[in-house]
Structure 1
Amino acid sequence: MTTEQPGTAESATATYVFAVCRQLDPAALTGLAGLADGFPVRGLRFGSLTAVVQHVPAAEFTEDAWQQRLSDREELEHCARAHHDVVTAAAACGPTAPLALATLYRGDERARQALEPDADRFAAVLARIEGHAEWGVKVYLPAAAPGPGSHRSGGGAGRAYLERKRGLHRAREQHHDRALQTAEDIDTALSRLATATRRLRPHGPELTGEKHRLQILNATYLVSSVRVRRLLEAVAGLRHRTGADVEVSGPWVPYSFVGEV
């Protein structure tokens, strides 16, 4: 999040920056609400590049106001959705580098001054992602069977209980090893088709809501448009070969591959 104290008594608006691109058709932004009613989403030139911006009421977008806004789940979702809608519309015109949510400056001129020193870095990012999209892949396997209960009994029954416990422990270890190997195999196969990849931490059951499936891979791939068909064919083959549930989402604006811009 990049914020400045955006307003003074004399300044009614601040400038919110959604993204940076090379070319922008103003018609692509027509009708977008952005983050503030009554202010159009528009382009702001700096050098050979264009920032996608919107005036917002300065008093409603101070740093304290942002902190309150982002701590409210519904408000956070609203802001993130509005930000994404603008970025997606701009990306329809050509390669687009999204900026972080809540990138805000005191005005257009201050935004230009802040962005211009990074013009070369923006240009390099736009060249790298041109003709590409981001594809997310999540892979699941059935969860391991639960262990034996805590009931104990003497003699042979106790020994049988311990043997069952050892057997289940070995089975869990084998299941874990298989999960790791399956995740590596799938990631390796898909990475061959990608220009860049990012492995993210797999989500646990508390986030996925899945009690009977274990997420073993959570990754995202920057894929050229000419390789998308091969990517989807590879996913179908990996489902069949590994028996894993492989979920694919995309194409997305390549948020994960624009670096810290």
Structure 2
Amino acid sequence: MTGPDVPDRLTRVARELGPDVLADAVVRGRELAVERLAGLVADALVAEVLAGRAAGAAPAPAAAARPEPAAPPEPAPPPVPPPRTDAAPLPGEVLYAFALAPADLPVPADPPGAPHGGRPLELVTDGDLGLLVRRVPRADLEVDPDDLSEGGRLALLARGHDAVVRAAVAAGPVLPLRLGTAVPDETAARRLLAEHAAVAREQLTRIGDAREWGVRLVRPAGGEETADGGSRPDREELTGTAYLARRRQALREREEAARDAARAADRLEQALDPHVRECLHRGAAPASGLLLDLACLVVPDAEEAFLAAVGDLRTELEDDGLALEVSGPWPPYSFAALTAEGHGG
């Protein structure tokens, strides 16, 4: 396309395409903003519900903060003899279920500050399996999902649930149940155990005494500033050809950054593989900077080597503008598939 009318034709094309390009940019920008905000909100919710501090409750590590590795739980105190388990709950009460465990699991002492203190923990058994429960008023499980305040009922319930499960993990292998699981009585508890017996035994054997660690590969905020060619001059200062060249360069840089991130993720998984029993991918949100989110099942004897491998790789990845965040140890929440569907109180 040559001749004196070329600039005019380019101008007409630019005028025709300009609104569409701008609209597409607005839509894409909105999508990126939503993804980034979703990641930040998710981190804030987890920190608010599980990492808040109740009076006398042990703090839970925040997943997004690159904490120092938490000390292993102290050994559980001598088992507390459970009350008799043939008594039906009082009217308005249900059995709140924390975890499924072997029938010989020592019943842990009640963690300080846990909700419903004074109501003892019990292990309802059926054959070689047991369900760790506490009798609670049904009304105490009615929560407002929009109340995410530190002192709200949902936050207290979440922290109390986690505290009891942690105490149980210190006593032996357990399969944590989802927050809010309840059964109406011991007959229903034993029915739950019987229905899930085969899967529960397999999972208890597979998980054993291993604990969960979280590892996240992230690109810190600002790490993509050059992905679109650095600071942009006013669009009016760019010719159409220059703009298209800049866009192609930005795409090449973004693709290269994605390849670098994929290579870093592969290096991370290979470095951790000798030290973990299992790893689960919990998803990623590259637009928000989260490139890889892993839940790793690690036995206590391998935790020191696992953390050393994370530390060595963290130093290497810093040169690539990437960071590693580690949290834990946690009970094996991500690896216990038993959800007790259909057994709500």
TM-score above 0.5? yes
Q: SS at the partner of 1:183? A: helix
2:177 matched to 1:70?
no
Q: SS at the partner of 1:259? A: coil
Counterpart code for 2:167? A
Name whichever structure is richer in strand by fraction.
Answer: 1
Deviation at 1:259, TM superposition (A): 1.6
> What is the aligned partner in structure 2 of residue 41 from structure 1?
121
- Structure 1's 91 and 170: CA in aligned 2 closer, same or farther, altered over 3 A? same
> What is the aligned partner in structure 2 of residue 220 from structure 1?
295
> What is the aligned partner in structure 2 of residue 116 from structure 1?
194
- Structure 1's 169 and 31: CA in aligned 2 closer, same or farther, altered over 3 A? closer
- Structure 1's 109 and 158: CA in aligned 2 closer, same or farther, altered over 3 A? closer
Deviation at 1:98, TM superposition (A): 0.6
> What is the aligned partner in structure 2 of residue 240 from structure 1?
315
Give the one of 93, 96, 102 matched to 1:16.
96
Structure ID, larger Rg: 2
Identical aligned residues as a percent: 30
- Structure 1's 59 and 216: CA in aligned 2 closer, same or farther, altered over 3 A? closer
Deviation at 1:104, TM superposition (A): 1.1
Deviation at 1:32, TM superposition (A): 5.0
Deviation at 1:144, TM superposition (A): 1.4
Deviation at 1:93, TM superposition (A): 0.4
Deviation at 1:149, TM superposition (A): 5.0
Deviation at 1:59, TM superposition (A): 4.5
Deviations 1:102-121 (A, max 9, x none): 21111122212222232232
Is the CA contact 1:32–1:40 (under 8 Å) kept in the aligned structure 2? no
Counterpart code for 2:122? R
Structure 1 residue runs without a partner (length 5+): 1-9, 207-213
* Distance (whole Å) between structure 1 residues aligned to residue 112 and residue 134 of structure 2: 10
Q: SS at the partner of 2:325? A: strand
2:114 matched to 1:56?
no
RMSD: 2.5
Counterpart code for 2:170? A
Deviates more, 1:88-97 or 1:43-52: 43-52
Aligned 1:83-98 pairs, distance under 5 A: 83-98=161-176
Give the one of 178, 188, 200 matched to 2:270.
188
Deviation at 1:158, TM superposition (A): 5.6
* Distance (whole Å) between structure 1 residues aligned to residue 219 and residue 115 of structure 2: 40
Give the one of 227, 232, 235 matched to 1:151.
235
Q: SS at the partner of 2:291? A: strand
* Distance (whole Å) between structure 1 residues aligned to residue 96 and residue 138 of structure 2: 10
Q: SS at the partner of 1:29? A: coil
2:261 matched to 1:179?
yes
Give the one of 243, 246, 249 matched to 1:167.
249
Structure 2 residue runs without a partner (length 5+): 1-89, 340-345
The size of the alignment, in residue pairs, is: 237
* Distance (whole Å) between structure 2 residues aligned to residue 33 and residue 242 of structure 1: 40
Give the TM-score of the pair, scaled to structure 2. Answer: 0.62
* Distance (whole Å) between structure 2 residues aligned to residue 133 and residue 37 of structure 1: 26
- Structure 1's 130 and 117: CA in aligned 2 closer, same or farther, altered over 3 A? same
Deviations 1:154-192 (A, max 9, x none): 6xx664444334323321221122112212221233234
Q: SS at the partner of 1:152? A: helix
* Distance (whole Å) between structure 2 residues aligned to residue 86 and residue 239 of structure 1: 33
Deviation at 1:240, TM superposition (A): 2.8
> What is the aligned partner in structure 2 of residue 198 from structure 1?
280
Counterpart code for 2:261? A
- Structure 1's 70 and 52: CA in aligned 2 closer, same or farther, altered over 3 A? farther
- Structure 1's 59 and 80: CA in aligned 2 closer, same or farther, altered over 3 A? closer
Is the CA contact 1:33–1:40 (under 8 Å) kept in the aligned structure 2? no
> What is the aligned partner in structure 2 of residue 231 from structure 1?
306
Deviation at 1:152, TM superposition (A): 2.1
